[in-house]
Structure formats: C-alpha cells, structure tokens
Copies of this chain bind each other. A is one copy, B any other.
Amino acid sequence: MTSRGLVVTDRFLAIIGTLDTKGAEVTFLRDCLRDLGWKTKVIDAGLLGPPAFQPDVSREEVATRAGKSIEGLLSEGKDKVAAVEAMAQGIIRFVTEWVERGEVAGVIGLGGGVGTWLGTSVMRSLPLGFPKVMVSTIPFQDIRPLIGTKDIVLFPSVADILGLNPLLRKVLRNASSALAAMAGLPQKEESSKRVIGATALGITTPAVLASRRILERRGYEMTCYHANGYGGRAFEEGVAMGMFAAVLDLTTHELTNQLFHGTGLAGEDRLEAAGKKGIPQLVAPGGIDVISRGPIETLSSEERKRPHYRHSPFFTHVRVSSEEMIQVGKVMAEKLNRSQGPVTVAVPLKGFSDRNRAGDLFYDPEADGAFLLALKKKLLPEHRVVEIDAHLNDEVFASRACDLLFEMMDEGRKT
C-alpha cells in the first residue's frame, strides 16, 4: 500500500469457503475485498454439493492436490473427518505454494463447526505475522486447539452463518477491511540477534520477570511463552524458525507432563529445537516437580495421596515423586546431550516452583536431589550443571542464570 491507501501490489488475498452452502457469504466477502482494491482467489472447500459460482480453485483441484478425488472422499460415506482433513491438506498445499512464491498477502475463511475446523487447519500451517482471519460462529468450547501456535485472528459472527443479513454484512465488512489493512502493511522482518526466547508459568513467574529486567538492561528483548502445552510448542517452533539468539528455558514443566500423563503437552520433542539449532541454551528445572492434572474431582486415588493443590477450577497440581524425578533428570539429559550448541543447566537448590519451598506443600529436597543426581550422571561432560543455593524464584537465581547465558553467548562470539 502507498501511504495514501492505494494497493500497489500484484499479490492477492485468498478466501476459503464452502461454496455449496455459503456461496452468497463468500461472494459478499470477495466483493468487499475487491472494493478495497485487492485481487482475490476463492478456494472451494465444499463437500456437500456443487459450487454456487465458479471458484478460482475448485473442490476437485483441492482434492486432487491432496491425492484424492471428490467422488472418493464422498464415497467414503460417513467419515466426514477424513474428508475434511483431506480438503484441508489440499488447500494447505495451494496456499503454502502461494506464500513461498510471495503471491498471496493474506487468507480469510468463514464457517461454523466444519468451516472453522477446516479454515484454522489451513491457517495453522502458515507463518506467524502472515495475515490470517477466521470469521467463525465459535462453536467450540475450547478454541485453543484450533488456534494452536499461530496468530489466527478470530472474528465472532455472533449469529449463525446461514445467509446474508445486516449483522453478518457488518461483521464481514469489518473482517475484510481488517484483512486488507494487515495485508497492506509493509513487511518488516526484524533481526533475532538481540532476542532471547524464554518459558514461564504462574509458578515460575518471579524468575522470568527478574530475568526480563536483566536482559533488557543488557539490551536484549525477551519473547516468553507460557509452558501450558501450546506455549511450549510455539516456543520450540520459534526456536526452529530462528526467532532467537539464545534461550532461557526456565520452565521445562512440560517434560513432566509428557512423561506422566499431565495435561498441557508440548509434544515429544520439547527441549530439542534449541539443540538442533545449535544456539546457546540456559535450562532450568522450573515446574518439573509438578504434574498438571485436570479439575481436582478427576484425580485418581493414588494422586490424592500425594501432595496436591487446586491451581484453578480447571487444573490441579500434583507433586512428582523421587522415582519420577529421576526419570525427568534422565530424559532432560538425553535431550540436551544431542545439542549442537552450548548448554548450561542451572539448578536452584531451594525449590523448583512456587510452592516447592521450605515449609510449603511441595517442598521435597530429596526428590529434587534425586533429579539433580540423575541429570549429572547422564549429562555429557561438555555440558555444564551449575547448582545455585537459592529458590528458582529468588532474584539471585535469575541473575546467575542470565550471567551463565551471557557467558555462553560471549563464548560463541569469540570462537
């Protein structure tokens, strides 16, 4: 866009819709975008019937790109899930190609249950910052699996998407102008040289806040992810994409969840991206002493016997046992041993989380010591373990952890 709002680009905006049931709505959306000066490409994702108008990419082309045929997908009868997933895969291939060639400037989708599921499946495969707008009835209780690790903008349709009306036109006009504006922004790619990736949870927040102050004083910025599964996943993806010069992975809690069936899983490969990337990583055992479980009513009788507390109506924290802590230590060491870059594990000797502190419910120096021993035994000698006589959330711990990170980074610059 020029400063005066004229679109001076050859790029287009992609619209994903089901032209069997939502032809009028997609047409309106397309016309809004055209009125704003944009070229468009409409992709038909409809499985129920022929399109209301000729799209730029037909449902047959979509199915073919996924290695299927529309007839095949429909004849699979009741397995709607597989059919929708195949359509999403086909669309992902089209859009990814357009993104790689720099031809598409943004994507918009609209739908109810199936449409939102399909549209967000496509959007989750697109890069951060790339404009992606989902107009949705928000039919799901938990939409976070649909958003995943991406900046998918949600426009609630308020009413059903079932024909045009003044309310829906209002929402679609807003959504299309928002998409067009984002697509028209100059694309700024900032350097990652002064950016540190970090991980936090409520139970480790003081450590992260203190670290942030220290990093900022040294001229660094921090991008901090919530270690609730989604966050850890997004953190690993950010590392892999080269968004960070180094990581301060203070909250490795998701390792414990992964091992002991907690909620909030970041995936089997948590704590591996930084090693693959070869960037310096300062790792701490923040929250590895805690298994995140669902509402307190859902705890097993075995879990009820352990120290546990209600973190919120939705989550209960259960203390990890000595034997389990040994396993966490081993797994952490195994993952870090595969690292291509420098690794330091900073272990606070006075507790790994908010309520793991002398006198409080989760304090168990024996179990935490078992973790430390297992870690040290397994970790290759080229990696450091530094014991710090403080609680994870003490200022002195953050200060020492940041110093250790800077040491690794300085070392890297020298060689």
Which segment, of A49-57, A143-151, A377-385, faces chain B? A143-151
Name the contact of A223 in the complex, choosing from B159, B188, B195, B243 (C-beta under 8 A).
B159
Name the contact of A147 in the complex, choosing from B151, B156, B173, B238 (C-beta under 8 A).
B156
Give the most central of A177, A191, A212: most B CB within 10 Å. Answer: A177
Q: Which residue of B lies closest to A134 (CB)?
A: B154
* Chain B residues with CB below 8 A from A180, complex form: 181
Contact at B154–A153, with CB atoms within 8 Å?
Answer: yes
Interface size of A by CB at 8 A reads: 70
Name the contact of A238 in the complex, choosing from B167, B200, B234 (C-beta under 8 A).
B167
* Chain B residues with CB below 8 A from A231, complex form: 159-160
Q: Which residue of B lies closest to A215 (CB)?
A: B163
Which segment, of A1-9, A276-284, A361-369, faces chain B? A1-9
Q: Whole-angstrom distance from the CB of A407 to the nearest CB of chain B? A: 22
Assuming the contacts A128-B158, A142-B142, A171-B151, asked whether A181 and B177 have C-beta atoms less than 8 A apart, the reply is: yes
Contact at B158–A151, with CB atoms within 8 Å?
Answer: yes
Contact at A158–B150, with CB atoms within 8 Å?
Answer: yes
Contact at A243–B163, with CB atoms within 8 Å?
Answer: no
Q: Which residue of B lies closest to A6 (CB)?
A: B4
A225 and B165 alpha carbons, distance in the complex (Å): 12
A129 and B189 alpha carbons, distance in the complex (Å): 33
Task: Scan A5-21; emit 1 where CB is below 8 A from any B CB, else 0.
Answer: 11000000000000000
Q: Is A336 part of the contact surface with B, judged by Cβ < 8 Å?
A: no
Contact at A153–B151, with CB atoms within 8 Å?
Answer: no
Taken together, the copies of this chain in the complex come to 2
Q: Is A138 part of the contact surface with B, judged by Cβ < 8 Å?
A: yes
A149 and B167 alpha carbons, distance in the complex (Å): 12
Contact at B166–A224, with CB atoms within 8 Å?
Answer: no
* Chain B residues with CB below 8 A from A141, complex form: 141-142, 144, 314
Contact at A225–B128, with CB atoms within 8 Å?
Answer: no
* Chain B residues with CB below 8 A from A6, complex form: 4-5
Q: Whole-angstrom distance from the CB of A335 to the nearest CB of chain B? A: 22
Binding site for B on A (CB under 8 A): 1, 3-6, 128-129, 131, 137-139, 141-144, 147, 149-160, 162-171, 173-174, 177-182, 184-185, 188, 190-192, 195, 200, 208-209, 212, 216, 221-226, 231, 234-235, 238, 243, 314
A-B residue pairs in contact (CB < 8 Å), sample of 6: A138-B147, A153-B156, A153-B178, A162-B222, A166-B192, A178-B182
